[in-house]
Amino acid sequence: MKIVLASGSPRRRELLSLITENFAVCPADADESLRDGAPLADEVVRLSRLKAEAAMQSHQDAVCIGSDTMVTIDRLPLGKPKDEQDAAEMLRRLRGRTHEVLTGLAVLSPDGGAQTLCTRTEVTFRDFSEEELAEYLATGEPLDKAGAYGIQGHGALLIEGICGDYYSVMGLPVAPLGVMLRKLNAVR
């Protein structure tokens, strides 16, 4: 069965390749605006499904996978920073605190079936110095990541611990996705 990942993220491609090498990539063109007042966990699932549906439009014979990851603190979403200053403000807000990473997953099958879920992972940042913050910003890594950090990159130096699914923080809940794809007989 053909599998399509509705994402251009190299991290998601890398993670899906842990399950199967047989997939195509079709970055989704979906409106990622959040609805006012909607629960953030519902929003990551909704956005994941929108991405999978966008891929399904051009790949109707495939299993289409959509995923969306959101960093939240104080019940507020932290998206990708606009610039280095915005990234610094986000990281200062996370410093020395525990925040939540929500990752939505949607798997749509050619027969019209849909499986969705949301994972929640707590990430605790250590109380890093302003010098360490400047060094991390200088890597450029924070600029294209939700919450302004990448757990799998230099951002790991800021993290004291996690409670939950590491791969979900990277952007794709690997184990649950593997189960979903096996149920569809899309992978062995």
**Residues carrying an active site annotation:** 68
d(Cα 90, Cα 108) in Å, to the nearest integer? Answer: 34
Residues 78, 152: contact at Cβ < 8 Å? no
Q: What is the DSSP letter of 60?
A: T
Look at the block and give the residue holding tokens 């899906």: 16
d(Cα 6, Cα 21) in Å, to the nearest integer? Answer: 15
Residue 137 in tokens:
């910003």
Q: What is the DSSP letter of 79?
A: -
At 21, the amino acid letter reads: E
Closest CA to 106 of 158, 39, 51, 69: 51
CA atoms within 13 A on the CB side of 163: 5
Residues 94, 133: contact at Cβ < 8 Å? no
Helices (H), 3-152: 10-16, 40-58, 84-94, 130-138
